[in-house]
Amino acid sequence: MSRMQWWVVSALAGLALLLMASSLTLGALNRSLQAEVGVRQQYVQQSLQLETLYREIIRALAELGARNNDDKLREMLQRHGITYNAAPAAAAGAAAPAPAAPGRK
Amino acid sequence: MNPPGVFKLPAQRMDHGTASGTAQAADEHQHTLPQDDGARAVTGAGVHAGGASGAHAGGAGGAHAEGAVGAHAAGAVGARTAGRPAARSAADQATRTAFVPLLLMALALFGWFGAQLYDAYQQRQTLLAAHGSQQQTVDNAGKLRQLLDALAADTQRLADTGNANAALLVTELRKRGITITVPGAAATAPETAVQPQR
């Protein structure tokens, strides 16, 4: 093997080694990033369920506040940017609250 | 050099011992030469046999000389034909170095790891795009959780002050497996005020 051939083979082998190290490093980074993406996706999925709960709580508080004319409850909801109008009395006592869309502060 | 068939001598005039001895000497000498130099082996066998034939020619006459020369020729040709494969293999061995297989192996490794790196890079770009697209949704989800936590905490505080409606809501939520923990009131303050029970 001549000197030139030795250098060619050595350079290619060194590049292959460099590529292998880069591939391993990038693979490890990808696994970490994929795990983070999975955690964030799970966080979003749980938040969707909590959004349903949030809307149900607001609806229930508005119904109770309107039905029983609870000023404290109304004030508390107003602090969170939520207002509602009491149903007309013709509704046979059944409160039909029409809570406004939750206002985000 | 004449081929061996040219020298056809009568059997009774042929000194087999001398001829065969000369040929054997040539063969033995050729065998002692290094195998990787075939051309030199042929030349050496011819010179050695020629010297033997000359000695016999001077001492025993023409018949011996011819027989010896025939033996010399046969020995030389035999040595030459035996040396050809060795010379060829030596020449092939001289040209067959480790460069080509090493080059092929290095190229194969280079290509394999290059392809792996390209795939990993593509996968990383896809993951980064997915991570970026999640950001707005994650931010909105965080805000929603903060709103829910604040509302639940205020409801719990209102229930603790004796508000019947708030207490009813907290009770109903607890029946559904949802407990509200006020961060300021709990010894161990969790991050989320609303904790669904499982």
Label each residue of A3-36 as H, E or C. Answer: HHHHHHHHHHHHHHHHHHHHHHHHHHHHHHHHHH
The number of folded domains in chain A is 1
* A16 assigned to some structural domain: no
Bridge partner list, A98: A85
pLDDT reading at B178 higher than 80: yes
Q: Which residue range forms the structural domain that includes residue A31?
A: 25-87+96-100
pLDDT of residue B95: 65
Q: Nearest Cα to B90, choosing from B26, B39, B45?
A: B39
* Any domain includes A20: no
Residue A57 is assigned to a structural domain of this protein: yes
Low-confidence ranges of chain A (pLDDT < 50): 90-105
- pLDDT tens digits along B69-87: 444 444 445 555 556 667 6
Assign B88 a pLDDT band (cuts: 50, 70, 90).
low
Do B64 and B52 contact (CB within 8 A), yes or no? no
Distance (Å, whole) CA B42 – CA B78 = 9
Average pLDDT, chain B: 66
Ramachandran area for residue B89 (φ above 0: left; ψ -120 to 50: alpha; else beta): alpha
**CB proximity under 8 Å: A 32-61 to B:** 33-34, 36-37, 40-41, 43-44, 47-48, 50-51, 53-54, 57-58, 60-61
Helix (H) / strand (E) containing B147: helix B99-160
Instruction: Examine residue A75 and state whether it is found in any structural domain, yes or no.
Output: yes
Does any domain span residue A54? yes
Let me know if residue A50 belongs to a domain.
yes
- Is residue B93 predicted with pLDDT exceeding 80? no
Q: B107 contacts in A (CB within 8 Å)?
A: 12
User: Measured in whole angstroms, how far is the alpha carbon of residue B9 from the centre of its chain?
Assistant: 62
Q: Percent of chain B having pLDDT more than 90?
A: 29
| pLDDT band of B170, cuts 50, 70, 90 | very high
Instruction: Give me the pLDDT at residue B190, please.
Output: 39
Token couple for B84: 């050809």
Query: pLDDT, tens digit, for every residue of B103-156?
Result: 898 899 989 999 999 999 999 999 999 999 999 999 999 999 999 999 999 999
Does a structural domain hold residue A14? no
Interface touch A20/B113, C-beta < 8 Å: yes
Instruction: Write down the pTM of the prediction.
Output: 0.56
Residue A83 lies in a domain: yes
